[in-house]
A = this chain, B = another copy of it.
Amino acid sequence: MILTVTLNTALDVTYRVPRLTPHATHRVTAVTERPGGKGLNVARVLAALGHEVTVTGFAGGATGATLRTLLTARPDGPDTADPTPTDALVPVSGTTRRTLAVVDDATGDTTQLNEPGPLISGTEWHTLLGVCRDLLPSASAVALCGSLPPGVPVGAYAQLVRAARAADVPVLLDTSGEPLRRGIAARPDLVKPNAAELAELTGFQEPLRAAREARRRGAHGVVASLGADGLLAMTPDGGWRAQPPAPVRGNPTGAGDSAVAGLLAGIAAGDDWPARLSSAVALSAATVAAPVAGEFDPSTYAELYPKVTVTEVATRPPSGPSGP
């Protein structure tokens, strides 16, 4: 089983309107709701790929109940064999936040309104830590994903990284800011920042230099997502760049979460790094190409996987005269 942890889950709501005009009244033409938060997106992709996956994190209130119902609903009806994630979410007294995407049919642009997350109590956080410790022995890999809701200690991911390492389970951390800084110091197997998050963490704009610096700070491996340029990996086994055969047009929402799903699946299966990176790049591109934001197109994935270019890069800077 692969485990994903999403501390700041959300019910992702999408409204379509003919044209968004501030201070006017709009009739919403279509409403969709979907379980959200990075780790839940990762789990949905893994389940669609046929992996057994368990999700934990926090869920509460009416929106939390809706999220849980949708999470385990079979996408094509109750009679299909499509696997769905196993729900190990921790109930909380607060209410799970909504994120609202208002899609303007006239321009295709999206206006995003994100509710604040619920306040998590110390007891609720310790319950989650206990749930993770109970699940880790059955996990082949674990991903710790997204931002922290109010009330969760900023070192939460560092604690979870240590729990995973104590259970000898490969751990991937996908967050940003101070939670990433603290989490990296606990020596996760892999971090997956984008270029901006990596630069913010290390102070270096150049991805190669920044990835090396992130490893120096504690990450065993770093896979940086560089948008249309694909992925850059710096690992104990070597360094690689992985790129799709051609730029893919579409909606980049969820592309990073699909890359995490590809990496996790490869780690759980014991694939080598080029295979892991090919899977991550192809899934990411298949997500950009899909008509529904955050979904991936299986045939695009199958078509792109063998066409991903993986080239080696040096994990250490070329030797030369060092400074004083």
Q: Does A81 contact B (CB under 8 A)?
A: no
Cα separation A28 to B102 with both chains bound (whole Å): 14
Of A108-116, A167-175, A202-210, the segment with at least 4 beta carbons within 8 Å of chain B is A108-116
Contact A109 B31 (CB under 8 A): no
List B contacts of A17 (CB < 8 A): 113
Contact A113 B26 (CB under 8 A): yes
Q: Does A213 contact B (CB under 8 A)?
A: no
The 8 A CB mask of A6-28 against B (1 = contact, 0 = none) is 00000000010100111111111
The 8 A CB mask of A98-122 against B (1 = contact, 0 = none) is 0010101001011111111000000
Within the complex, the shortest CB–CB distance from A156 to chain B, in Å, comes to 21
Contact A22 B112 (CB under 8 A): no
Q: Which residue of B lies closest to A15 (CB)?
A: B113
List B contacts of A152 (CB < 8 A): none
Q: Which residue of B lies closest to A19 (CB)?
A: B22
Contact B112 A24 (CB under 8 A): yes
The 8 A CB mask of A53-91 against B (1 = contact, 0 = none) is 000000000110110000000000000000000000000
Contact A23 B65 (CB under 8 A): no
Contact B28 A110 (CB under 8 A): no
Cα separation A100 to B25 with both chains bound (whole Å): 10
Checking B15, B21, B27, B109 against A23 with a beta-carbon cut-off of 8 angstroms, the contacting residue is B109
Cα separation A42 to B192 with both chains bound (whole Å): 53
Q: Which residue of B lies closest to A25 (CB)?
A: B112
Contact B62 A116 (CB under 8 A): no
List B contacts of A15 (CB < 8 A): 100, 113, 115
Cα separation A323 to B1 with both chains bound (whole Å): 87
Cα separation A156 to B172 with both chains bound (whole Å): 58
CB proximity to B under 8 Å, residues A136-179 = none
Checking B20, B66, B100 against A22 with a beta-carbon cut-off of 8 angstroms, the contacting residue is B20
Known contacts A62-B65, A65-B62; is A22 also within 8 Å of B109 by CB?
A: yes
Contact A104 B22 (CB under 8 A): yes
Checking B22, B29, B66, B112 against A62 with a beta-carbon cut-off of 8 angstroms, the contacting residue is B66
List B contacts of A114 (CB < 8 A): 25-28
Q: Which residue of B lies closest to A63 (CB)?
A: B62
List B contacts of A66 (CB < 8 A): 62
Known contacts A62-B62, A65-B62, A66-B62; is A23 also within 8 Å of B111 by CB?
A: yes
Q: Which residue of B lies closest to A66 (CB)?
A: B62
Within the complex, the shortest CB–CB distance from A99 to chain B, in Å, comes to 9
Q: Which residue of B lies closest to A20 (CB)?
A: B22
Checking B27, B29, B63, B112 against A26 with a beta-carbon cut-off of 8 angstroms, the contacting residue is B112
Known contacts A15-B113, A17-B113; is A22 also within 8 Å of B24 by CB?
A: no
Within the complex, the shortest CB–CB distance from A173 to chain B, in Å, comes to 23
Q: Which residue of B lies closest to A28 (CB)?
A: B115
List B contacts of A112 (CB < 8 A): 24-26
Listed A/B pairs (5) with beta-carbon separation below 8 Å: A20-B22, A23-B110, A28-B115, A28-B116, A62-B62
